[in-house]
Amino acid sequence: MATIESILHETRVFSPSAEFAKRANISGMAAYQALCDEAKSDYAGFWGRLARDHINWHKPFTRVLDESNAPFYKWFDDGELNVSWNCLDRHLATQGDKTAIIFESDEGEITHCSYRELHEQVCQFANGLKSLGVKQGDRVVIYMPMRIEAVIAMQACARIGAIHSVVFGGFSAKSVHERIVDAGASVVITADEQTRGGKHHALKATVDEAMSMGNTDLVRAVVVYRHTGTDIGWQPGRDKWWHELVEGQASECEPVWVNAEHPLFTLYTSGSTGKPKGVQHATAGYLLGVMTSMHWIFDYQPDDIFWCTADVGWITGHSYVTYGPLAMGATQVIFEGVPTYPDAGRFWKIVQDHKVTTFYTAPTAIRSLMKLGPDLPQQYDLSSLRLLGSVGEPINPEAWMWYYTEVGQSRCPVVDTWWQTETGCHMIAPAPGAVPLKPGSCTLPLPGIDAAVVDEAGHEVEPGYGGFLVIKRPFPSQLRTLWNDPERFKRAYFPHDIGGGRYYLAGDSAHCDKDGYFWIMGRADDVLNVSGHRLGTMEIESALVAHPYVTEAAVVGRPHEVKGETIVAFVVLKNKLPQGDQVAEITATLRDWVAKEIGPIARPEEIRFGENLPKTRSGKIMRRLLRALAKGEEITQDTSTLENPAILEQLKQPAP
Ligand code: PRX
C-alpha cells in the first residue's frame, strides 16, 4: 500500500495517445479548457446548454439555477421529464434491437436483453406497481440481487414517479428495517435469495425479519422475485410473486412526467453520527450529471461495451449501471457474482467473452486480483478494452501501474474518478482524451465543477498543503437534501465556518499539486472506507454498545493492503476483562453481532478489550491514540492530558 509519502513523490505522467485523443469526446487539453472557460464565463448558460443537449424534455425549462433558498438549490425547476423515458423510450425508434444488457449470472449463464425487451419489462412491472396502488411520490424499498430485475425495479419506479430506496443486499434485517421506516415505504421489492460466489444468501427471510421489527404498517406489499426457488415464508395478502404481478400487464406504460426537482431516489449512506443519512437526489440534475460524465469521462461511444462492476445497492451502481449507460443507449454488462469465483480470472474472462471496451471497478478489487493472479490478465484476450476506471477509494500508484500495464496493456487510459453518493456523478476525474494521467491522482475537476482545497476558515491552501476538499459552486447532480432531515443536510454539507455556508464540504482531505491536480488523502471525518464501502465509526460503535456485554466502544480504521482500511474496535465490557479462552469467545460473539446488526461488511477485523478507553480530562476519547495503537505504532504523542495513561499498555496488546 502506498504511503502518503510515496504518493507525494509520484512523478510519472501518462498522456493520451494521439489515436485515443483523436476519437475522444473531449479531444485535447484545449477542448477541455474551452468547456471550463464556457462554464466560467456563463455558468447558467453552460449547464442549460448541456441539459438541452443531453436530456429529452417533456416540457422545456426556462430557468436554470435558483439559488434563492441556498443551500436548497433548484435546477431547471420549471421543466418536466421522465428519467425512464430518457433511458428507454427514446432509443426505441433508432435502436430498439440493440442489446441494452448482457447479463452474466454467478454460474456463468448469459442473457441478452434488448432496449425493446427492457422497455417492455419495465412497463409491465411499472403497471404491476400501479396495480398495488403505488403512485407518484410513494417510496419503494428495493433489496435485490444484482440481476436485470434490480434495474427493472428501479426504472419502473422512475417511470411512475415513485421514489426508490435501494438497500445493498449485504445489509442486515435491522438496516433494512431502519430504511423502510425512515423512508415510510409502501412497497418492498426483494427476491427469495441472492447468489454470489456459489453461495446462497437469504433476502426474503431478511425482509420478513425486518418487517417483524415494528412500525412497518405503511408497507402494503412485499414483491418477491423467484430466483433460486428455495422455500420461503409467505404472508398471504402482503406477499406477491413478481411473475404473478406482471402477468397480463400491458407492455406499455405512459410515463409520469415529473418536475425536474421531483426526487428520483434516496440512498442511505454513512455519516459521522450513528444514523445513516438518506441522501436525496432530484430527477433532472442527477440525470444530467450521469450523462455528462458518461460522455466526458467514460468517453462513451456508440459501439462501446460498458461494464461497471458495482452493485446497484451503491451509488456507483445507480449512476453507472441503472441510469448512465441506459440514458446513453449503451450496451452494458451486468454481472451477478464476485471477482474470485470460480477463480481470480473471472473478471478477465468476462471482458474477453463479451468484448468489454470500458471497465470500471474499485481499487480493492484491483489490489486483490493483483495479489491473487498478477499474471492472469495475460491469459485472456483483453484487446477489446480501450478505457479503464477506478472508484471508491484512493488507488495507490502500484495498483494503478498494474492496472494500466497488465490489464490495459499500457494502451488504455485509467480514469480515477473521485465522487460520492452525495455528488451523484464524477466530480474530479480525467477526460481521458485530454488530461495527462498521474498514477494515484484523480487529476482535474470536470468542466463546470469548482473544486478546491481549503483550510478550516475556508481559504484556499497553497499547492502541496493538505486541507478540506470543497466544491465552491452548486452543481446540477448534487444531493438536494437529506430525507426527513434538512437541518442535518445544512450542518453536514454547508457548515458556516467553512466558506460561510456556501461551499459543499465533501468530508475528504486532499491536496493539489503545482499543476492543479487533486490527490485525495482519505476521509477527514469519522467515516471509514473498507473495501470501498463507506461505514461510520459511530454506527459500528452504536451496534457494539447495543450488545448486553458492552459498556463502551471506540472504533478506528487501520490501513490494509487490499481493503484500504479495516475495522479495529476497542471495547470496555460490563464484566471484568476477559481471560484465556473467553477472549476469543467474546470476540467472535461481538464480531458476529455487528455483522448481524449492520451487515457483514461492518464486522470488525480485531477487537481489543480494556478496563477503560483513553480519554482527555474532559472525557473525549482520543481516537488519534487509538489509531496509533491499532497500527502497532509507538506512542510518541504527549499523553499527559490523558485521564488514565496506564490504559494504553492494556490496549497496546493485539488480540491473540
Ligand atoms: O473518501 C472518498 C472515497 O469514497 C467516499 C465516497 O463514498 P461513497 O459515497 O460510498 O461513494 C463511493 C463511490 C462514488 C469519498 O468521500 N472515494 C470515492 N472515490 C474516490 C475516493 N477516494 C479517493 N479516490 C477516489 N477516486
The per-residue pLDDT for range 24-76, each reduced to its tens digit, is 999 999 999 999 999 999 999 999 999 999 999 999 999 999 999 999 999 99
Interior/surface letters 143-178, b for 16+ CB within 10 angstroms, e for the rest: bbbbbbbbbbbbbbbbbbbbbbbbbbbbbbbbbbbb
Ligand 1, atom 22: nearest CA belongs to which residue? 393
pLDDT at 481: 98
Cβ of 277 below 6 Å from ligand 1: no
Share of the chain above pLDDT 90, in %: 91
> Treating both helix axes as pointing N-terminal to C-terminal, what angle do 283-296 and 43-54 enclose, rounded to 10 degrees?
80
**Beta-strand relationship, 221-225 and 239-241:** parallel
- Which sequence spans correspond to the domains of the chain? 527-651
Is 419 flagged in the annotation as binding? yes
* CA-proximal residue: ligand 1, atom 26 (nearest): 418
Q: Tell me the C-alpha distance between 165 and 266, whole Å.
A: 5
- The Cα–Cα gap between 460 and 456 comes to 10
**CA separation, residue 471 to residues 21, 292, 397, 524 (Å):** 28, 18, 25, 15
Average pLDDT over residues 171-198: 97
Question: Among candidates 165, 142, 154, 187, which has minimal Cα distance to 88?
Answer: 154
420 labelled as ligand-binding? yes
- Which mutation among 419, 441, 530, 531 tests ligand 1's pocket best, with the greatest number of atoms within 8 A of CB? 419
Angle between helices 173-183 and 204-211 (to 10 degrees): 60
Strands 277-282 and 305-308: unpaired
- Contacts of residue 254, defined as CB under 8 A and 6 or more positions apart, other chains included, come to none
Output the pLDDT for position 313.
97
Is 415 a residue whose pLDDT tops 70? Answer: yes
Residue of 268, 311, 393, 518 to mutate, ligand 1, most atoms within 8 A of C-beta: 393
Determine whether the annotation assigns residue 443 to a binding site: no
pLDDT for res 621? 87
Numbers of helices and strands, H then E, in the chain:
22, 30
Which amino acid is present at 341? Y
Alpha carbon distance 411, 463 (integer Å): 31
d(CA 632, CA 615) in angstroms, rounded, equals 19
**Distance between first and last Cα of the chain:** 25
Point out the ligand 1 atom lying closest to the alpha carbon of residue 422.
Answer: 9
616 pLDDT more than 90: no
How far is residue 406's CA from residue 403's CA, in Å, rounded to a whole number? 6
- Confidence tier at 645 by pLDDT (50, 70, 90): confident
Range in 49-63, 132-146, 492-506 with the lowest mean pLDDT:
492-506
Output the CA angle 627-518-12, nearest 5 degrees.
100
Count other C-beta atoms under 10 Å from residue 218's C-beta.
14
Is 147 marked as a binding-site residue?
A: no
SS (H, E, C) 311-349: CCCCHHHHHHHHHHHHHHCCEEEEECCCCCCCCCCHHHH
Task: Pick the atom of ligand 1 nearest to 314's CA.
Answer: 10
Q: Which helix (H) or strand (E) holds 201?
A: strand 199-202
Residue type, 386: R
pLDDT band at 3 (very low <50, low <70, confident <90, very high): very low
pLDDT at 2: 40
CA nearest neighbour of 462 among 511, 422, 411: 511
C-alpha torsion angle, residues 243, 244, 245, 249 (rounded to 10) = 90
C-beta 321 within 6 A of ligand 1: no
Position 604 scores a pLDDT of 98
Element (H, E) at 520: strand 518-523
Element (DSSP H or E) covering residue 387: strand 387-391
Cβ-based burial of 598 (10 A; exposed 0-12, middle 13-18, buried ≥19): buried
Atom 14 (ligand 1) nearest CA: 420
- All three cell numbers of 505, joined, read 464540504
Residue ID of nearest Cα to ligand 1 atom 24: 394
- Output the DSSP codes for 409-441: TTTS-EEEEB--TTT-S-SB---TTTSPB-TT-
Instruction: Give the per-residue pLDDT at 10.
Output: 75
C-beta 319 within 6 A of ligand 1: no
Cβ–ligand 1 contact at 534 (below 6 Å): yes
Mutation pick for ligand 1 pocket among 297, 418, 530 (CB with most ligand atoms within 8 Å): 418
**CA-closest candidate to residue 474, choices 12, 56, 48, 65:** 65
Query: Is the CB of 523 within 6 Å of ligand 1?
Result: yes
33 is in an annotated binding site: no
Measured in angstroms, how far is the CA atom of residue 394 from the centroid of ligand 1? 8
pLDDT tens, 381-393? 999 999 999 999 9
Report the 10 Å Cβ neighbour count for 561: 12
Judge contact between 236 and 221, C-beta under 8 A. Answer: no
**C-alpha cell of 153?**
425495479
pLDDT tens string 336-348: 999 999 999 999 9
Query: Is 523 annotated as contributing to ligand binding?
Result: yes
Q: Tell me the Ramachandran region of residue 184: left when phi exceeds 0, alpha when psi lies from -120 to 50, beta otherwise.
A: left
How far apart are the CA of 85 and the centre of ligand 1, in A?
Answer: 30
508 lines ligand 1 (CB under 6 A): yes
Nearest CA to 649 out of 640, 637, 634, 638 is that of 634
Give the nearest ligand 1 atom to 417 CA.
26
CB 418 near ligand 1, within 6 Å: yes
- Degrees (nearest 5) of the Cα angle 437, 438, 442? 80
3-class secondary structure, 226: coil
Sign of CA pseudo-dihedral 76, 80, 83, 89: negative
Residue type, 304: D
Among the listed ranges 257-266, 372-381, 421-430, 629-638, which one has the minimum average pLDDT value? 629-638
Nearest atom, ligand 1, residue 442 CA: 26
Is the CB of 270 within 6 Å of ligand 1?
A: no
509 Cα–ligand 1 center, Å: 11
Buried b (16+ CB within 10 A) or exposed e, 460-472: ebeeeebbbbbbb
Indicate whether residue 419 lines ligand 1 (CB < 6 A).
yes
Residue among 527, 525, 530 at smallest CA distance from 606: 530
392 annotated to a ligand binding site: yes
Q: Using a 6 Å cutoff on CB, does residue 392 contact ligand 1? A: yes
Q: What angle do CA 92, 98, 103 make, to 5 degrees?
A: 120
CATH fold of 527-651: GMP Synthetase; Chain A, domain 3 (3.30.300)
- Determine if residue 47 is labeled as part of a ligand binding site: no
SS3 (DSSP) at 241: strand
Ligand 1 centre from 507 Cα, in Å? Answer: 10
Q: State in Å: Cα 421 to ligand 1 middle.
A: 8
Bridge partners, 555 (sequence order): 569
Residue 416 counted as an annotated binding residue? yes
Residue 638: the pLDDT is: 76
Q: In this structure, how many other beta carbons lie within 10 angstroms of the beta carbon of residue 244? A: 12
Q: Does residue 507 contact residue 529 with C-beta atoms inside 8 Å?
A: no
Q: Are 167 and 123 in contact (CB under 8 A)?
A: no
Nearest atom in ligand 1 to the alpha carbon of residue 418 is 26
Quick one: average pLDDT of 500-522? Answer: 96
Q: pLDDT class for 7, splitting at 50, 70, 90?
A: low
Report the C-alpha gap between 378 and 407 in whole angstroms.
8
Name the pLDDT band for 9 (thresholds 50, 70, 90): low
- The average pLDDT across 514-531 equals 94
Residues in the chain: 656
73 Cβ inside 6 Å of ligand 1:
no
Record the cell numbers describing residue 10, joined without a space.
509520484
Alpha-carbon distance 411 to 560, whole Å? 29
Distance CA 453, CA 470 (A): 6
545 belongs to an annotated ligand binding site:
yes
The answer on pLDDT for 85 being more than 90 is yes
pLDDT higher than threshold 60 for residue 534: yes
